[in-house]
């Protein structure tokens, strides 16, 4: 079975991320969406990691066992070793993404030449969507629904975030 890791901060997971995941599932039998975070940065991110994971799980229900969700603190390459995975999926929206991701892929390749980074181009109608845009909309009390996977109601997650604060 060909398995890949799709790592990111996913703060929050967007329709663009889902688009990349959908394409990755055409290449791999299983994809593990891996939420990376730095435990040394207390309260980092818009959503806490547990809520990010809930958003992702709500977003990927239709894929069943083809998608797993986990969180990790170590280097992505170390997570690959831990899970026995040799592929990393990275989504590309712009040429800036390509340059940034290329540097990371090269560093990973030096650390382990057996682990391959696979780039998946976001569909053109999702290429402008980023977690940063969604967070900005949310911070300014806007409606981020058009940027989210279908059926994901961010209001309940914002409420949960406030209750946990």
Residue 131 a catalytic site member: yes
Residue 22 neighbours by CB under 8 Å, 6+ apart: none
- Measured CA to CA in angstroms, residue 59 lies from 22, 27, 155 at distances of 11, 20, 15
Residue 69 neighbours by CB under 8 Å, 6+ apart: 32, 33, 34, 35, 53, 56, 57, 60
Residue 93 a catalytic site member: yes
Task: Give the active site residue among 52, 54, 93, 130.
Answer: 93
Task: Give the active site residue among 54, 59, 90, 131.
Answer: 131
**3 has which bridge partners?**
30
Residue 36 has φ and ψ, to the nearest 5°, of -90, 140
Contact between 41 and 145 (Cβ < 8 Å): no
Task: Give the active site residue among 26, 41, 124, 140.
Answer: 41
Residue 125 a catalytic site member: no
| Residue positions annotated with a catalytic role | 17, 41, 93, 131
């Amino acid at each position: 079975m060909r398995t890949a890791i799709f790592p990111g901060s996913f703060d929050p997971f967007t329709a663009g991320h889902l688009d990349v995941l959908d394409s990755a599932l055409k290449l791999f039998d299983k994809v593990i969406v891996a939420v990376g975070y730095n435990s040394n940065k207390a309260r980092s991110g818009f959503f806490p990691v547990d809520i990010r994971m809930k958003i992702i799980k709500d977003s990927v229900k239709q894929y069943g066992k083809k998608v797993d969700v986990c969180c990790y603190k170590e280097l992505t390459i170390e997570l690959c070793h831990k899970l026995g995975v040799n592929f990393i999926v990275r989504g590309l929206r712009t040429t800036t993404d390509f340059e940034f991701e290329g540097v990371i892929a090269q560093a990973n390749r030096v650390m382990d030449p057996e682990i391959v980074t696979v780039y998946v181009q976001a569909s053109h109608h999702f290429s402008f969507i980023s977690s940063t845009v969604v967070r900005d909309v949310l911070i300014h009390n806007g409606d981020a629904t058009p940027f989210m996977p279908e059926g994901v109601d961010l209001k309940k997650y914002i409420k949960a975030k406030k209750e946990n604060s």
